[in-house]
Amino acid sequence: MYFENNDDIKKRIIESDVKICVVGVGTIGLPLATFLAKKGFKITGLDISHERVNQINTARVIYEYQDMLRDVTNNHNLIATTDPKTALDGVETIFICVPTPLNKNNEMDIVNLNNVAKRISPFLKKGMILIFESSVAIGTTKQIANTIESMTDFEFGKDLGLAYCPERYNPTPMKKETQDTEFNIHSRGENFTVDKISRVVGGIDEKSSEIAQLLYSQFITTGVTKLSSIEAAEATKLLENIFRDVNIALVNELAKIFPKFGLDVFEIINAAKTKPFAFMPHFPGAGVGGECIPVDTWYLISQAQELGIDTKLMKVARSVNDSMPEHVVSILEYEFDKIDKDISSSQVTILGLCYKKNIPDIRLSPTFPLIEKLTAKNVNTIVCDPVYEKINSPVKLTPINDSFKNSDAILLITDHDDFQNLDFENISNDMNTKIIIDGRNFFNHEILDKFGFTYRAIGKPE
């Protein structure tokens, strides 16, 4: 398609007459594959996980587009496989959505991208276009393209098209519909579904940018903006996430300071929000998780370092946000001190292992460092997360009804809907000492007072 004239490409894309492969059909790859398949494109999903492939082909994935997935697997517009030869047969466009986590030195680990390059290279054909979505440090897309060039006779910008379109997936809260693992988008009332989130694309050349823009425009209804280069698109993603990281760090810091003045930081943020321009609210919490915001900040910190630039603000933002689990522990210790309770002989119930409300994703969750810090102080921790309970968890999860017996404190880290209507009357009877530390401004203070709890919340005065 890369060599076809613009009118022919346009016609075929509009008619969904392009076979597409999405490599890495995980959290972001699957929604992309689902929306493209729904639009009528024939999609193959290439993954290395047999389990994931199985779940997709039987439409048993826990995510908000499960209904759509059922439709597109039933009509065979989406078929997942672990075999690259099958996946790439007849394909003209390849989207790449594999994970790009941090290594031990907080630098980007490109091992998955390199693996993709190795797996797909033997099956590439002249005229294909590759579109990367994985979040990356600036320059990575071209670096992987160079790797592919070294394994083939092809050159990007000559034989193959190349573009980058940063993912803006908003893993939105899903409401449980049944006692089983069924989630449904219709119950969410959310506006930021994949089709309603505008995107930016950057290509190695004008042709690549145009094809990418046209493809995304088939299912994105809110605009796809062409940028001047791949690097500009990579940098845009970094700015978006670093902006959030830095601003959350600011309010997290204020959440430590304002309560000392007797002020509730949430009141102040909401007050500032009444200014009609130049202020965007961010809210403090028990920590910033997910393989997106913290990771992207580190990408740029390490890239800047290589360039001899000491990124003071970004590093401080990371360290402030990483300090929040410790802040939760310090509030707990303060409250235990007041009642002469030795933390090392305590049992604490942690509500939430997932990094975000109602999302079954635990990557870089602040609950992990929190458990670590408490365990180092010999605290017996009970972790409860109904959203993650049915998934293989690296941490033992306790059902909600068994989570409070003999505990001395509750630490709310994730504001899942499941924690909304806890029976605090019963819970207060189960607990030894009644302390709640609310890491998400979630609980109703007055109800907890009624049942004799000491309520503390991040950002709120004692």
Ligand X SMILES: NC(=O)c1ccc[n+]([C@@H]2O[C@H](COP(=O)([O-])OP(=O)(O)OC[C@H]3O[C@@H](n4cnc5c(N)ncnc54)[C@H](O)[C@@H]3O)[C@@H](O)[C@H]2O)c1
Integer angstrom CA distances of residue 87 from 46, 54, 243: 6, 15, 37
227 binds ligand X (CB under 6 A): no
CA gap 300, 137 in Å, rounded:
6
Q: Which residue has the tokens 């913290």?
A: 294
Residue 27 found at the interface with ligand X (CB under 6 A): yes
Provide the minimum distance between the beta carbon of 108 and ligand X in the complex, in angstroms, as a whole number. 9
Instruction: Point out the residues that are catalytic.
Output: 237, 292
Find how far residue 373's CA is from the centre of its chain: 24
Q: Quick check: 297 binds ligand X (CB under 6 A)?
A: no
Q: Is 360 in the site for ligand X (CB under 6 A)?
A: no
Nearer to ligand X, 295 or 397 (CB): 295
Tokens of 442: 């979630």
Question: What is the nearest approach in angstroms of ligand X to the Cβ of residue 74?
Answer: 21
User: Which residue number, 101 or 452, has a Cβ lying nearer to ligand X?
Assistant: 101
Please name the helix (run of DSSP H) or strand (run of DSSP E) that holds residue 357, with its range, or none: none
- Among 96, 172, 175, 86, residue whose Cα is nearest residue 135: 96
- Binding ligand X (rule: CB under 6 A), the pick from 6, 115, 187, 444 is 115
349 touches ligand X by CB under 6 A = no
C-alpha span between 110 and 284 (Å, rounded): 31
Residue 411 binds to ligand X (criterion: CB under 6 A)? no
Q: Which stretch binds ligand X (CB under 6 A): 3-11, 91-99, 388-396, 429-437?
A: 91-99
Nearer to ligand X, 79 or 374 (CB): 79
On the 0-12 / 13-18 / 19+ scale of CB atoms within 10 A, 282 is middle
* Amino acid, res. 189: G
161-200 positions binding ligand X, by CB under 6 A = 167, 169, 171
What SS3 class is residue 267?
helix
**Looking at 16, 57, 112, 433, which residue binds ligand X (CB under 6 A)?**
112
Q: 332: part of which helix (H) or strand (E)?
A: helix 324-338
Q: Which of 416, 412, 346, 1 is nearest to 175 (CA)?
A: 416
Q: Which stretch, 41-49, 56-64, 67-75, 328-336, contacts ligand X (CB under 6 A)? A: 41-49
The smaller minimum CB distance to ligand X, of residues 169 and 266, is found at 169
How far is Cα 429 from Cα 401, in angstroms, rounded to an integer? 13
Considering only 38, 77, 91, 99, the residue that binds ligand X (CB under 6 A) is 99
Nearer to ligand X, 97 or 410 (CB): 97
Residue 389 has a CB neighbour count (10 Å cut-off) of 16
Query: Where does this chain bind ligand X (CB under 6 A)?
Result: 23-29, 46-49, 52, 97-100, 112, 115-116, 119, 134-135, 167, 169, 171, 291-292, 295
